[in-house]
Structure 1
């Protein structure tokens, strides 16, 4: 198993549109399926209610790391921490990075989640598998959102 997940997609949308979809908390929530509680601020926690069917009882939490307009947005979070009876607060978080670069037809988006080697071994494989599937869906979600 590798330490990171990487997904890439070409988006037929201007960079400002894609940047806003990534970094405006309301727009992010639309395609990511989370009702966000407030704006993204580097160094602060962002949270919201997950709206994805079957996960509505969970709160999405991440710490915003970088917002380097218009090329890099990143946060740390606890990958696939979905058991409400487990305290994940002592675990090392993974880093999620959204990198944008212009291409002739719009934007090239690369999403990388790294740090799975630090996830506790008992849940590492499942967290990796579930997040890998999740990012596969999320790249399609953002594509549909920004190209709509």
Structure 2
């Protein structure tokens, strides 16, 4: 049997041709999140310890907990690995972090999702999560960047 090495983290980044305050709004406002990520709906309390819920018709509702939100700089939360479960601890959730910083006339947005190896699921499920999340975050960041670049509110 061949040992499988499961990635523990996903890292993606994108340059957004928009001011940092606009990128922050698109990143953290539920109506914008519905447009670039949680297409079935979003509820979000940005305070530390606040709850979040991301919904997709085809995947269900994923629960999370805000760890830190620093306007125009950092948005960090735990997100349950499985839908319709409240798990927000290591083993049942991953840690998702967005860092934003000014770059020229625009904004650099960096995403990291970590804690994949600590999930209490099979190595095959961890690998599937890492592969799916990599594609989903890549697409979501492209959508977020396009929305922020086009948004004027």
Check the 8 A contact 2:16/2:106 in 1, yes or no: yes
Check the 8 A contact 2:44/2:50 in 1, yes or no: no
> Unaligned stretches of 5+ in structure 2?
1-5
- Alignment match, 1:24: 29
Greater mean deviation of Cα atoms: 24-33 or 112-121 = 24-33
**TM-score, with length taken from structure 1:** 0.84
Q: How does 1:86-105 map to 2 (within 5 A)?
A: 89=87, 91-105=91-105
> Unaligned stretches of 5+ in structure 1?
none
Check the 8 A contact 1:25/1:39 in 2, yes or no: no
- Alignment match, 2:11: 6
Give the CA deviation at 1:88.
Answer: 7.4
Check the 8 A contact 2:45/2:51 in 1, yes or no: no
Check the 8 A contact 1:21/1:146 in 2, yes or no: yes
**TM-score, with length taken from structure 2:** 0.81
Distance 2:44 2:96 in 1: 19
**RMSD (CA atoms):** 2.0
Check the 8 A contact 1:23/1:67 in 2, yes or no: no
Check the 8 A contact 2:63/2:86 in 1, yes or no: no
Alignment: residue pair count: 140
Distance 1:22 1:101 in 2: 13
Distance 1:136 1:38 in 2: 22
